Structure formats: C-alpha cells, structure tokens
Amino acid sequence: MMNVCFQCGMYHADKTIDPSGPFAICPDCGYKHPFKQLPLLIVSGASGSGKTTVCQHLLGQVTRLVLLDSDILWRPEFNTPDTNYRDFFETWLRVCKNISQSGRPVVLFGAGVGVPENIENCIERRYFSKVHYLALVCSDMAISDRLQHRPIWRGTREPTFEEEHIRFNRWFMEYDSQPPIKIINTTNAPPGTTAMQVGAWIDKIVRPSD
C-alpha cells in the first residue's frame, strides 16, 4: 500500500520523487519512502494484432517479469470516455507499481495502455524509471480476418468494431512522436516468431542476468 505514508498515515498518490534513493516523499510530513523504481513494459496493438497470442506464448517462458493482460481488470465503471478512461490507467499503474515493489518489473499487454498520452499523463507514472512501448501491427486484411474468426459473443465481428481497430492499427503504424513505440509487424509471421521478437525486446530492457 505504497500510497499510505508510513510516518503520518496520509494517502497520497502524488508523492514527490527523489531519484537519489529513490524515495517517494510524502507531501504532508516529508517522510522519505524508499521504493523500487523499475521500468514498465507495455505490449500493445489493435484488437487482432496478436497481443493475447504473444502473451500466451511468453507466459511461463519469461519468469523474471510479471506478464499481465490489462483486460482482466476491465469493468463497466471504467468506461468513461469523458475522462479518457483515466481511472482505468491510474489503477493499472498503481497495480504495476505495487507488483514492482517485489522486485519484478511488469509487462502489461493491452490496447489503450499502448497510447503514450494515456500513461504519461497519469499521476502514478512517476513511480517507474521509464515506460517502454511496443506495438504489434498488421495489414488491414489480417486484422479483419482475425476479428471475423472470433466467437460472436466477443462482438469483434461488428463492422464498427472492426473499423475502429483498423484505424487504431494504422495509428500505431503512422505514429512518429515521443516517447517512441517499437513496432513489430505480425502480418505474415507465425505467432511463435512474433513472441520471440517480443521476448528479445524484453531481454534488451531487462537483461536475463539482472
């Protein structure tokens, strides 16, 4: 429960970070809370780009990081486009921050978390040394084909859903800003190959010997 001060007991998500510790400093009493400021890794992409398949491939293979799918916490009360789903992203960063305190960084898989402005503007962002973004992309045809083959209950065969995710997929391909997003094209790649590429990206950021 990192947001509750050990000294004065007040709740603050917006502590001041002193990188020399690093410490999270309580704005009420000045207590310097030592914490682990680890990187956060995000694997994103539109629906149908291959995120879930890659996550399944890497689960149990990559064990020095914690792999999580952001969909597992989704609830109707998070569906607040007027706030740009802020509570959902803050909640995820708080979960990842607390997991990180056990010494293992998180790889978070999900669509919306891959848009840097959704994450970089969050109050909880400060507790990570850096957020690394990767997006899986593929051709419009591949997205469409994959979404049409999902079970009907998921709603991915709806034309509006498909159009939205084709647009989102193109947004990643055209993204040319800061922070950078590493792009991996999955159009013709077998899932195992994509998973290996993502695994290599993870290894580069959090070296196996660390």
Q: What is the binding site for Zn ion (CB under 5 A)?
A: 5, 7-8, 26, 28-29, 31
Q: From 140, 135, 83, select the one nearest 114 (Cα to Cα).
A: 135
> What is the widest separation between alpha-carbon atoms in the chain?
57
Least Å distance, CB 25 to Zn ion, is 9
Please, which residue, 29 or 72, has the CB nearer to Zn ion?
29
Rounded to a whole number of angstroms, the minimum distance from the CB of residue 32 to Zn ion is 10
**For Zn ion, the closer CB: 32 or 64:** 32
CB of 84 to Zn ion, least distance (A): 30
Q: How far is the CB of 27 from Zn ion (least distance, A)?
A: 8
Number of H helices and number of E strands within the chain?
6, 8
- Angle at CA of residue 134, ends 199 and 49, nearest 5°: 90
Query: How distant, in Å, are the alpha carbons of 47, 57, 111, 112, 141 from that of 145?
Result: 11, 21, 18, 21, 6
CB nearer to Zn ion: give 5 or 115: 5
Nearer to Zn ion, 28 or 203 (CB): 28
